[in-house]
Amino acid sequence: MNRRNGLPVEVDLIAQLADLKEVDYKNTLVLTALVELLVEKGILDRKDVIRKAHQLDDDLTPEVNRSEYAN
């Protein structure tokens, strides 16, 4: 069994994954709060945010992946 820091590698990987999930949750929470505040203050429109998110997703998603899901 491979060990790292005295723990099996699998345990270390699971701990790292848990840490990443926590960071992802906190980042999502902050981004959601920022968007909500900007919408509440009338600086942004929720539909514009959603439209821009879709546009960025389309721009960043390679054509190969999109064609796989087209059917």
Render pLDDT for 19-40 as a digit per residue (tens, 0 to 9).
999 999 999 999 999 999 999 9
Given a contact cutoff of 8 angstroms between Cβ atoms, the answer to whether 49 and 35 are in contact is: yes
Tens-digit pLDDT profile for residues 36-61: 999 999 999 999 999 999 999 999 99
Percent pLDDT > 90 in the chain is: 65
Q: How far is the C-alpha of 68 from the C-alpha of 30, rounded, in Å?
A: 33
**pLDDT score of 5:** 65
Q: What is the mean pLDDT of the chain?
A: 87
The total domain count for the chain is 1
Give the domain extent around 47: 3-69
Tokens of 26: 């906190």
